[in-house]
Amino acid sequence: MLLTWLLAWVLVLAVAVAVTPRMLSNYVGRLPFAPECPHCHAVTSHTARHRLADRLCALIDATPVRTCARCGWAGRMRWRLAPEHARGRG
């Protein structure tokens, strides 16, 4: 009985480890590119207040929380690699 529970937990852990990177890349892939607002295409700015979770997420996955002064949109964005820097890599 103990062996069955242990194998079940190992299976659940293996599935979680296999699925997590796919979920994270899917989440980040759906974020709009910074600094352009996805609704009105104005330049967004940093939010005034940052919670601890927002600061940690911004450090870990480089998705800062931005706001648009024109239309009021607020959310996470991802940065696009500049083409002039991308040509020199690889």
In this structure, the strands spanning 78-79 and 74-76 are: unpaired
In this structure, the strands spanning 33-34 and 78-79 are: parallel
Return the number of other C-beta atoms located less than 10 Å from residue 14's C-beta.
10
Q: What is the pLDDT of residues 38-77, one digit of tens each?
A: 889 898 887 766 677 777 776 776 777 888 889 988 888 8
User: Are 13 and 1 in the same domain?
Assistant: yes
On the question of pLDDT at 18 being above 60, the answer is yes
User: Are 22 and 58 in the same domain?
Assistant: no
User: Are 42 and 12 in the same domain?
Assistant: no
User: Are 16 and 46 in the same domain?
Assistant: no
User: Are 47 and 61 in the same domain?
Assistant: yes
CB distance 59 to 39 below 8 Å: no
User: Are 24 and 41 in the same domain?
Assistant: no
Residue 9's pLDDT band (cuts 50, 70, 90): very high
* Per-residue confidence (pLDDT) for residue 76, from 0 to 100: 84
φ, ψ for residue 67, nearest 5 deg: -130, 155
User: Are 87 and 55 in the same domain?
Assistant: yes
User: Are 16 and 40 in the same domain?
Assistant: no
Looking at the structure of the chain, the number of domains it has is 2
